[in-house]
Structure formats: structure tokens, C-alpha cells
Structure 1
Amino acid sequence: MPLGPAGRRRAGLLTAAATALLSLGGVLGSTMVKSPAQAVADSAPPTPSVITAAVERQKLVRTLVFRGDFATGRQTEIAPTAIAATGKDGAQGESGARSSLVVTKVLVAEGDRAKAGRPLAEVSGRPVFVLPGALPGYRDLLPGISGDDVDQLQKALASLGIGRGGDRSGYFGPGTKAAVAALYRRMGYEPPVTGARTEEAVRQARTAWEEASATVTQLEQGTPSGSNGEATTEGPDGDGSTAGSGTEAGRAAGPAADPEGARKRLREAKEAYDLAVAADGVMLPASEAIFVKDLPARVSGLPAAVGDRLEGPVVVLTSGGPRLTGYLDPTLEGRLVPGTRVEVTSETLGITVSGKVASIGERVTPGDAKDAKGQGQGQGKSQGAGASVNGNAPYLPVTVTPDKAWDDRLEGHNVMITVTSPLTGTAVLVVPQAALLTGADTHTTVTVQGPGGRERKVRVTAGPSADGLVQVTPARGEPLREGDRVVVGR
């Protein structure tokens, strides 16, 4: 059946489309068909590339990097346990007998610097303050005692411009009493005193001295025993004291009395009175004055607030600032010496500071006896630097001191310590160590790649190396210049 005009047009279009598809398939097929020679060429390994590096001129330095930790400074917790007596409040005993410990004032804020002889807080109206000294206070400092702690007190007072008078070094005598009283009055407080017990001891010693003095006077004047007459004598204060036959001294006087024995008893009574007076009066209670080695110290904690009944510390001080200990691999022993310059970087804080190596200790294995940390000092609980570190790996402890005081923010941070040691005094030619080749003739060479990929061997002498670079000196007549490209791999 013959096609009409529309049918003929459709048939023509279909024929054209089929012809185009066949042509495209032929093209694609031709691109996928390879000759045997082409297939072999495509399967061969690629032409090897050459890796080069530039010859540089620079000073050669060795870089050593290890980690370290900043410990907090020496911490002292100030925790009064008693309230001292004063001459006005009638409290009893050397350290007072009032049992109510209440925070009545807090005179500092966290971050403040605690200075010597300035109150930090008040507990039940009494001041708590610090004085300079390495020896922790372990007892009340009382009149009449001697010791290194008294000497430390006298030196601390002297640093504040308060002298000890005529007292010898290390003896708490009348001059030291006056100095302590002056310190308290400078702070605005009544000086603490030893209390009623020593006052009673003075009264009794005075009475005994008066009686012994009256006995000697009666014997010297020949007053008969049992006489109603009265003899007047000089008492301890030079006043006119009387001793009659009704007194014990009067009964002791008589023809059979021993004048020499009476004079001896008088001397002993006078000595006892002097000792009683020396032990009475102004003192320094351990509950109020805290000795701290490094002042001024930073107020790092205020655990109690005004109105709290005190059951622990009222102030926590941190003295000496942060302390840095580095952990050097024991296999690197000898690579570091005291005095070496270092850079200390806290990646967390973005701080880099400089310092130097102060000391290098003996090998430490975490957990052994040498792993003990430095202890705090002062009254109350003291805190050390923390637990074992360095991932429990052995190390050589490296103490680093700063050029300037460490930033307090570094406390508790793990840091990177970088040491750069110069190996050459001036700039020298250096190449990567991988560029050096040693042939069968024992000569060392580098391969220099020139224009167009041409290569030439240059004999060199190798020098010091550090951080993957080595100094090279070309043999005479063999050119090697800064900027040349040397082969380091293929």
C-alpha cells in the first residue's frame, strides 16, 4: 500500500536518525579499539619523575622540642584554730580560750597581693596576716623563749622597720615585746598577751620576793622573833613595804635564823620574779601570724565569707608564682646543659615566653621516690604540684626559669619547650640529608639538576647536620651555589 505524503516524511526522519546513530557508534567504537603496540605502551610504567630541593645558605641550628607542665606556686592555707587574748578583753591562756571562730571581716579579694604586716581577714575580731620567713610557724612565740623562729620573727619585724631593741638575736625579750606591740598598733589592733596565767605567776613571784626581802631586813635589824615591832624594807618597786611579826617572814626571823640562807632565798626570789615578768605580756600567736617564704603572695582562694563559722581556711595564698618542669627524654641526656636558652609556648593560651634551663635532674620513673613533688609550707594544709605526669614515661626533670616573671595564667598548663642550639656561627650552604650520595670510591656527592633536566655530580664534604639539613662544602673547582636544585629522590 503506497504511503501518503505524511508517511513518507516520517519514514525519512526515521532513516536519518538511524544513520546518525550508526555513525556515532562507529566513532565511539574506533576510539576504544587499540593496536597491540598501543596496548603495550599504555601498560608500561610511567616515566620516573625527579624530586629536587634547593641549595640554601643559612645558619645551621639544632632544634630540640619537649613538653613540660606548669605547677601552681607554693600554696598555704590560713586556718586559725584559736583566738588570742588581749589586755582589754580578759581572755584566758596563751592562745585564748574563746571557742567561737567567726569570720568578721574579709579584707582582700582573689588575685590581690598579700603583703607583710597587713591584715588579710578578721576572725572573731582578731587579725590574720603574713610575715616573711621560710620556717613555718609551729608554736606561739612567747616572751622569754629562744629559737630560730624567734630570730625569724625579729628579722621579719626589721624588714618592716621595727627593731628588736636590746634583745639578743633569737631571744624574745622586752625589746621584741615592744616590737610586736608596735606592729599590732600599726595594723590598728590591740597586741595579744599571754593572759591571766602568767599574770598570776607574776603576782605570786612578787609576793614571794617581798616576803624574802622583809625577812632579810628583819635579820639585819635584829628584830626578835615574836616581836610586835614592825620593820620597813624596800619592796620590788622601791616602795615602803612593811612586814610584821604576824607575817610568815616575821615568824621566820629570830636569833636562830640563818642570815646567809635568807639572803640566798632573796636572790632566788628576785630571779624567779624576773623570769615571771619576762614570760608575761605581749606575744605572737601562731593563729594570727603566718610565715610565708615568698612575699608578696597571691590570694588564690577565699573559702569563707563574713558571718561563717570557721571550720577550715579563711584565706588561701599562692606564693612563688608558677613553676615549670620539663620532661626530657633520658636518651637525650647530654644534649641539654644549664644556661641553655629556651622558648616556652602554651598553644592553649597563645603565649610564648623565653627563659633558660636552670637545672637538669636525675632520671625519674613516675611512681618512684624521686617522683615526689615539692611540698607547700605554712600553717594548715599545704598543697604540692600534683600527680605523676609525662604519660608515666621516664624523664629527666628540667627546671626552667623565666627572663621575666611567669604569667600567672600559665598555672596548670602543659606547654611546649623549644631549644635551638647554633651549630654554625655564620650562614653556610645546606642541603637535605637525602641529597647526599656516597659511592664505592667513598666520595660524597650531590646531583645537581640543570636546565632541560641535565644532571651533573658535584663532590662535597659534609659538615654538621640538624633537623634534616646538612652543611656541604663543594670540592675545589666544582661549582655549587645557593639556589641550585639537587636531586633528593626519584
Structure 2
Amino acid sequence: MGKDYGMIASRVNVLWVVLSAVGGMALGAWYMGSRIQSPAEMAARTAPPEPSPILVPVESRVLSTDVVTRGTVRFGLPQPVSIAPSTVKGGAGLISSLPRPNTPFNEGEVLMSASGRPVFVLRGAAPGFRDMSPGTSGSDVQQVEAALARLGFDPGPVDGNYDQKTSAAVERMYQKAGWDAFGPTREQRAAIAAIERDWSDAARSRLAAETARDTAVKAVAAARAIGEQNIRQATIDSAARYGTAKQLADARAGKSLLVEAERARGTHAAAMADADIKTQVADRALVVLDPRQTEMTKAAAEAKLRVAQSAQRKARVEAELAIENATREASLADERIKAAEGAVKAARLEGERSVRAAQEQQTLSEFDVKVATERFERLDRELAAARARLGIQVPADEVVFIPSLPIRVHEVTAVVAGSASGPVMSVTDNELSIDSQVAIEAAPLVKPGMKVAVDEQALGIKASGVVETVANTPGTRGVDGYHFYLGVKVENTPVPLAGFSVRLTIPIETTKGAVIAVPTSAVSLAADGTSRVLVDRGGRQEYVTVQPGLSTGGYVEVNAPNGQLVPGQLVVVGYKTAEPVAMK
């Protein structure tokens, strides 16, 4: 049976060989028949094909000339963070908490803590160097006010003056962060109490000085009144003692009324005495001649006559004595006048002295009032200023200023329980920067502030940035001597680019906006030297004269009169010829 099976297999193989040979012969016959053509067919197939135009649309686009280079993305350069000592706290505290490296921080967040107190991070170009409290003013206060305003805590005018509104805003910032604001210290309150005591003493001293001044003013008025009264009294006393001024003047002129009066009185007394003697003489004569009268009566009459004669002599003597006395008194008129004038003058001088003494006392009392008032007002201002400063404070060791925020902790150099003074860590900007370079010939074209397109096609990265730094000399900051260092700041991007190598495209010349542009191959030169483009208008082609502008990246700006070119129109950039049909 095995033998029969081998014979059958051999026959099948032979059959397959025969069939393969027949099929190959048939295929060769078909191929040779397809290659045989008539002369007409060969002429038709060898004629050149008609060319067709290559059309592209007119575009509206921004054209620019670019500088292209590469760079490596990194976070900002590390910058140290230092804690300034606080005078109001009397010394540096101890660090109680520190952040971990790579921890990000935004403005207004607590960076670390020292002795149980927070250290806030705020944006500011100048570092903090002193304690701030109500009444403080300066650029550091203005930085705090600007930060408070950005954080939504209204500090009032951002004018660099730390007032009560600023104090209230600082307190709200502390409260929102979960901390108590730093209020007045025990020493500050004790200083306020001491000023208040001095102020009270000054107020009492001023009141006592004002009372003494009022008394002195009244004493001056009293001295004037007393002086005037003394002058009047002296005048009266002089008149009573020495006579009136007229009498004294008359006596000085020899017209003393007293002398005249004494003379008249003496004359009258003498006349009376003479009349009495004559009467007694007549009475005695009647008695003597009357025989009826007795001797006694005659003796009485004689006695009366003698008495009358004695009275006459007495009157004469007294009159002479009185006149003599009056004359002597009149002769002393000048001395009496001087005495009277002296008494009045003495009274006047005494009054003036008393008034002057009272005025001097008034001047002294007014000076005391001035000194007391100045001291009171000075202490009043000091007290008001001290009370105004007795608000919420910002100690120097509770805030650090960073020029650019947010930040990321780069390295922590301090340790917990160490002194909270001096450098404690370094941070970097949370914003990305790119270290790059440009060739010497391209460096003069690149300026800080220019926009930069950042991309890397292989990674699908696209971002934007701005030129931040262009070195002044080649070969600095790690680049070779044929290039200038270029620093680019990356604008906000959600893509984590740190550490990647990216391509940078810097537009050097731009059309400053979208313009009408066509491929450079669409522009040709006419016989008269003008530039033109061939526009396709639904199968009909027409030349349009244009004024070319900036050309870059394979495109050229064109300006056609009367709006003959608009975006979307088709222009001819070349022609293509159809492939010849293969001969069969």
C-alpha cells in the first residue's frame, strides 16, 4: 500500500509542472500582444500634455524677519532672603518653622515663623530695614501699602504714610492669615503713661501761670488806681497844709491874702479899740461933770477908760504880731510850694513805681504763661503723636520684600531654633526664564522687551516670552566668544517647561499688523520694471500691478491699487505639466 501512495504523489507533481508551463506561455503571449501598437496610437501618446496653472490664495497675515536660536528653560536665578532685626522687639527671635525646598509662595503668605510670630512675603524692590508703625513714612511703607492694596486690604492712599487706615489694613492681613497682629509693647505703653503724666503737670503749670498772669494784670490796674488816689490825696493834703495852689502862687507874688487879712483884722481891732476908748472917755466926762455922781462912780469910769486903753494897746500889739507872722509865712511861700509840689510828685513817683513793679510782675507772669503753654503744647503734640503710633505695627523681622512674586524656595540655609537674623534661605522666581545665545551679527538686532515665540515641535510645546537681557559683550555667562548671552522671560504658560531645550523665534522686523501677502513666486517683473501678480478670475487670468513690501519666510507683502487684491483670491505661482500616459 505504501508503494501505491508514492506512485500517486509522483503523478500529481508531474501534473503541476505541466500546468505551470502552460500558464507561463499564456501570460507571455498576452504581454507581447499588449506592447504592439499602431502608428496612430503611438503618435497620440507621444504628444506633449497641456500645462495647468498652480494656484494659491491671497492671504492676510503678519510678516516678520526672525532671529532663531535655542535655549534651556529654568526658574529664576536664586536670590537670598534675609531677616532684618526688629528694634521694637529688642532683639532677634528664634526660628520656629521653615519651608521645604521647592515650596511655592504667593504674595501675602507666611514664609516662615520666628518665636511664634509670622514672616510674611510681600512684593517690593527695596529690602525691609526697620519697624513700621502709625506715623512712619517712607518708600518701605509705600511698598507695604501697595502690597495691602493688591491683596484686597484697603490701606487708603498709597502715599508712603503709615496711618490708622494702614494699621487697620495690616491687622486684617494678619487675621486672614490666622495670626494676631503685633500691637503696642509694654515699653511703648509705659512711655505713653510717662508722657501723659508730664502732660498733666504741664497743664497744671499752664493754669497756674495763667492765674498768676490774670492776678498781675489786676495788680497793674490796682497800682494805677492807688497811684492816682495817692496823687489826689497828696494834692488835698498840700492844699490843707500849705494852701491852695493859687494861694501859694499869690504868696510867691507878694499878694498873700493871709497878710492882708491880718492887716485888716489889726486895723479893725485898732478901730474898735479907739472907738471903745472914745466911748469910755465920753462916759468918764459925763460922770466927772455930773455933781450928782459919787466918787465911786467916777473911779469906775476911770477904770473903764484905762481898760479900754489897755485893750487898744493889746489889739495893736496882736495886730502887729499877726501881721508879722503872716508876713513871715508869706516869705516861706517858695518852700511851701516846693513842699507841696514835692508831696504830689512823691505820690506820683510812688504810684509809678508801684505800677511799674506790677507791670514787671505781669511781664514775668506772661513769660511764665508762654513757657508753660509751649511746654504744654509740645507735650500735647508728643502725646498725640505717641497715641497715633500706638497702633498695629509691622516689625522688621515679620516681613520680607521680594522684587518678583510668586517665588519658589530654592535652598534653606537656616535651622529651626537658630537665630532669626540675616540670611535664612534662597528663593527663585516662580516664573520661568530661558538661558540662550545669539550670534555676534544678530545681537545688535535683539533688544530687551522684544516678543519671543517659544516652541518645540517634537514635544508639542508652544509658549511666548519677552527678551529680558542681552549681554553687552560676547563670551559672558557661559557662552563662547562668538555669541552674546540672551535671557528670555517666559510669559504665563500652563506647560511645565523647566529643564527643557526649546526653540526661540524673535521677530526683528514686522508689518505691525496683518497685510495682504502672496508667495514670492507669485510676483513677477513686467517689461516696464513694475511688479505684478497673475490673478485667476474664474478661469480667466489677469495681471494686477502691485507694490511689494516686506519679504520674509517665502511671502511678500503686496499693495494693489483700488483693492484689486483681497484675501482668498487665487494667484498663479507656477505651472504644472501632466505626466505622459504610459504606452501599452
In the aligned structure 2, how far is the partner of 1:182 from the partner of 1:295?
21
State the Cα distance separating 1:170 from its structure 2 match: 1.6
Work out whether 1:213 is the aligned partner of 2:203.
yes
Partners in 2 of 1:168 and 1:215 — Cα distance? 42
Which residue does 1:101 correspond to in 2? Answer: 94
Q: Which residue of 1 aligns with 2:461?
A: 352
Cα distance per residue 1:245-283 (max 9 Å; x no partner): xxxxxxxx9995422332222212211222233344432
Structure 2 counterpart of 1:405, from 481, 493, 500 = 493
C-alpha change, 1:418 and 1:281, in structure 2 (3 Å) is closer
Residue of 442, 446, 453 corresponding to 1:342: 453
Question: Take 1:293 and 1:483, find their aligned partners in 2: how far apart are those partners?
Answer: 65
Identical positions, percent: 22
How far 1:316 sits from its partner (Å)? 3.7
Contact 1:192 1:283 in 2 (8 A): yes
Whether contact under 8 Å (1:298, 1:318) holds in the other structure is yes
User: 1:455 is matched with which residue?
Assistant: none
Distance 1:360 1:173, change over 3 A: closer
Aligned-pair distance for 1:94? 1.3
What secondary structure is seen at the aligned counterpart in 2 of 1:156?
Answer: helix
Give 1:127 deviation, angstroms. Answer: 0.8
Confirm or deny that 1:183 pairs with 2:173: yes
Match of 1:118 in 2: 109
- CA positional deviation for 1:216: 1.8
CA distance in 1, matches of 2:101, 2:137: 36
**Structure 1 residue matching 2:162: 3-state secondary structure:** coil
2:120 aligned residue: 129
Q: Which amino acid aligns with 2:146?
A: K
> Superposition pairs for residues 289-368 of structure 1, below 5 Å?
289-304=399-414, 306=416, 313-319=423-429, 321-332=431-442, 342-345=453-456, 350=459, 352-355=461-464, 358=467, 361=470, 363-367=472-476
Check conservation: 2:124, 2:143, Cα contact below 8 A. Answer: yes
AA aligned opposite 1:417: L
Within the candidate set 259, 271, 274, 2:381 is matched to 271
Q: For 1:183, what is the secondary structure of its paired residue? A: helix
- Amino acid paired to 2:75: T
Aligned 1:187-206 pairs, distance under 5 A? 187-193=177-183, 195-206=185-196
Alignment match of 1:261 (pick from 333, 350, 371): 371
Preserved CA contact (<8 Å) 1:343 1:419: no
* Change in CA separation of 1:396 and 1:366 when aligned onto 2, cut-off 3 Å: closer
- Structure 2 distance, partners of 1:152, 1:185, is 20
SS state at 2:397 partner? coil
Task: Specify the alignment match of 1:458 in structure 2.
Answer: none
**1:401 and 1:77 mapped to 2: Cα distance?**
22
Counterparts of 1:117 and 1:101, CA distance in 2: 22
Query: How well do the aligned residues superpose, as a CA RMSD in angstroms?
Result: 4.8
Higher relative contact order (CA 8 A, sep 6+): 2
| 1:27-106 correspondence runs (5 A) | 65-73=68-76, 75-80=78-83, 82=85, 93-97=87-91, 99=92, 101-102=94-95, 104-106=96-98
Aligned amino acid, residue 480 of structure 2: G
For 1:174, the aligned partner's letter is Q
Q: Deviations over 1:259-317 (max 9, x none)?
A: 23322222122112222333444321222111233333233344456556667655543
Distance 1:57 1:327 in 2: 40
Q: Is the 8 A contact 2:66 2:506 kept in 1?
A: yes
Q: When you count helix as a share of all residues, which structure comes out higher?
A: 2
Alignment partner, residue 383 of structure 1 = none
SS for the counterpart of 2:401 is: strand
Alpha-carbon spacing, 1:160–1:484, altered in 2? closer, same or farther (3 Å): same
Distance 2:445 2:206 in 1: 84
Instruction: Return the offset for 1:335.
Output: 6.9
Mapping for residues 434-445 of structure 1, pairs under 5 Å: none
Query: How does the TM-score come out when normalised to structure 1?
Result: 0.52
Structure 1 residues 289 and 336, CA gap change in structure 2 (3 angstroms) = closer
Q: Does 1:155 align with 2:146?
A: yes
CA distance in 2, matches of 1:187, 1:422: 48
Change (3 A) 1:394 1:339: closer
Offset from partner CA, 1:166-195 (integer Å, 9 cap, x none): x78321123322332332233333322464
**Residue type of the partner of 1:172?**
Y
Deviations 1:67-93 (A, max 9, x none): 3344532544334354x5xxxxxxxx4
Per-residue CA deviations over 1:73-118 (Å, capped at 9, x if unaligned) read 2544334354x5xxxxxxxx41433x5523x234x55444312323
Whether 2:392 is the aligned partner of 1:282: answer yes
Distance 1:325 1:279, change over 3 A: same
- Tell me what 1:393 maps to: 482
Alignment of 1:210-249 (within 5 A): 210-222=200-212
Give the direction of change, closer, same or farther, for the CA distance of 1:275–1:68 in structure 2 (3 Å limit). Answer: same
Deviation string for 1:334-356 (max 9, x for gaps)? 77788676344498xx5633436
What are the equivalent positions in structure 2 for 1:459-478 lying under 5 Å apart?
A: none
> TM-score scaled to structure 2, two decimals?
0.45
Alignment-derived partner of residue 90 in structure 1 = none
Q: Deviations over 1:229-250 (max 9, x none)?
A: xxxxxxxxxxxxxxxxxxxxxx
CA distance in 1, matches of 2:466, 2:108: 35
Q: 5+ residue gaps in structure 1?
A: 1-55, 85-92, 226-252, 368-387, 431-463, 472-479, 486-490
What's the CA shift for 1:125?
Answer: 1.0
Q: Distance in 1 between matches of 2:427 and 2:183?
A: 27
- Whichever structure has more strand as a proportion of its residues is 1
Distance of aligned partners of 1:320 and 1:260 in 2 relative to their CA distance in 1, 3 Å threshold:
same
Number of corresponding residues:
325
For structure 2, list consecutive stretches of 5 or more residues without a partner in the other structure.
1-53, 58-62, 216-360, 523-549, 557-573, 580-584
